Chain A
Amino acid sequence: MSLLELSGVRICYGNAVAVKALDLHVDEGEFVALIGHNGVGKSSTVKAIAGVVKPTSGSIKFEGNDILGQQPGAILRRGIAVVPEGRRIFTRLTVGENLTVGGTVRSDRVEVKKSSAEMMARFPVLGKYADRMAGLLSGGEQQQLAIARALMSKPRLLLLDEPSLGLAPQIVEQVFDLLEELRKQGSSILLVEQNAAQAIRAADRYYLMRTGGVIESEAAGGDQAKADQVESAYLHFGKA
């Protein structure tokens, strides 16, 4: 049984179909990338999994339970945490408060405090600026905060929507290193990216998404040649 399983997921905004019929799965401990150009429906897919938009048909199962149509809070409580597009950290809360808020679904407040300290040790910049307004952090620091905030809920599956967007290349490198590290520690990850080559290199498996659905899915597993090949095909496809 897959950890996360989407089948025949269809997402519409009014009359416009954003995703036609999507099949996708993530296994326990797997790092899966979902790549595709702007506007193909990647974020809609993430939102559907997180319970922000409701698919018109299809099914979404997490650990075998149907989660389609549940509220975001309920889905998070089941173990799916999101690092959304654009990061969406709370800019007028301090860094420490952002972490606290990330632990909302956990009942033990003492444990949440402990996790918060762990995050600050793991991301030194967050510890350094713990009492600073999060809006004052740089883009890369905000991205670290967004990921740390999601980790505060101790998720079974981490969804990331374009975490590298708008970041300088060496900061993007840091983000991918972090994902690598999380995977080594056994986290399950679904990463949405436009940055195809890098995502394919990092992931165990990838899906290439085209308007409304998946067209290709393969094991990637750090295969440089494969990554380059898909990248060029993908770029070509983009120009066509």
Chain B
Amino acid sequence: MNPQYIVDAIGTGALYSLMTLGLALVFSVMGLMNFAYGQLVMIGGFSIILLRSQPWWLLILGTILVVVFFSLLMERLAFRPVRNATAMTMLVTSFALAQFLQQLARVAFGANPKPLEQFSELSVQYEFAGLIVSRQIILTLVTTILVLIGLALLLRKTNIGIQLRASTEDVGMAALVGIKSNRVIAAAFVISGTIAAIVAILFFATRTNVSWSSGDSIVLIAFVGAVIGGLGSMVGAALGGFLMGFVYTMLNALLPMELRVFADAFLYTLVIMVLLIRPGGLIAAKGVRV
């Protein structure tokens, strides 16, 4: 086997683990599987197109601000009114929202994919011990590690982080100690939005266009990653997402050419096997409802 595949698989795994974290965080706080999360990444993509000619720091900052704004807007306008409704109602709301945002993007940017000028500086490649590593992969790895460290610090060292973890475990008790759920949930959407923006930057850095349907595949990967990781556990989510990306890339590389079109089928068969062996996911959090 060519070890080069492993480098690529690690890069994809890192990106998928970020995607999964953003989705899993909101789920763990309010039991909402936000299927409009992929559309946040899509919004991030269009924001990159609009900011493409700006300096890199402005592009990053602007994209994060735009996506966080939409994330908060989602929470306030769509999810807060159904917060105490059944899980099914919340789920349907998130599907409806995903559709709405897609159609909105289609109206605003057209049905055809919008071309995105390549980030040629990211395709620069280095050679380490016979392996070719692009800047894009290094950037993805470094960013993922930084986000993981940042998230861990935020959740452990800040008051809002501790309150967020408390709410994750027992919302009712959190209310009894005076934690304001509105604040905690808004914080979760800010973090989730920030992660979606970062995912958008890393993801579209290797694409040539952005389309209204760009978010679709992302949310599916994140969802499955969160489920195999064990819903409600952040470490599990990061791990589950990573495995999704890693295994998928390896399958695409290693399967014989004629079977490669079935890579998805193989991946999801593996997912089902994992869930048969460990129905609660790899790292099961207790008392989680799906």
Which A residues have a C-beta under 8 Å from some C-beta of B? Answer: 50, 52, 71-73, 76-77, 82, 84, 88, 90-93, 97, 100-102, 104-105, 109, 149, 153
Contact = CB atoms under 8 A, between A and B. Distances in A.
5 contacts: A72-B175, A90-B169, A93-B165, A93-B169, A101-B162
Contacts of A109: 159
B169 A91 contact: yes
B166 A101 contact: yes
Interface of B: 159, 162-163, 165-166, 168-170, 172-180
B178 A82 contact: no
Given A90-B170, A93-B169, A104 B163 contact: yes
B176 A92 contact: no
A92 B162 contact: no
B183 to A, nearest CB: 10
Q: Is the interface of B mostly helix, strand, loop or mixed?
A: helix
B169 A92 contact: yes
**Would you list the 10 A-B pairs with minimal beta carbon distance, nearest first?**
A105-B178, A104-B178, A73-B178, A88-B173, A72-B175, A76-B178, A90-B166, A101-B166, A72-B176, A97-B162
B105 to A, nearest CB: 38
The residue in B175, B177, B178 that gathers the most chain A C-beta atoms within 10 A of its C-beta is B177
A52 B172 contact: yes
Contacts of B166: 90, 93, 97, 101
Contacts of B177: 76, 101-102, 104-105, 149, 153
A102 B173 CA distance: 10
Nearest to B165: A93
A102 B178 CA distance: 8
A149 to B, nearest CB: 7
Contacts of B174: 101
Nearest to B175: A72
Contact of B179 (A82, A91, A92, A101): A101
Contacts of B179: 73, 101, 104
The residue in B159, B169, B176 that gathers the most chain A C-beta atoms within 10 A of its C-beta is B176
A90 B176 contact: no
Contacts of A149: 177
B175 A92 contact: no
Contact of B159 (A72, A84, A100, A153): A100
B43 to A, nearest CB: 33
A72 B179 CA distance: 9
Given A84-B176, A104-B178, A105-B177, 7 more contacts: A84-B173, A88-B173, A90-B166, A97-B166, A104-B159, A109-B159, A153-B177
Contact of B170 (A77, A88, A97): A88
A134 to B, nearest CB: 10
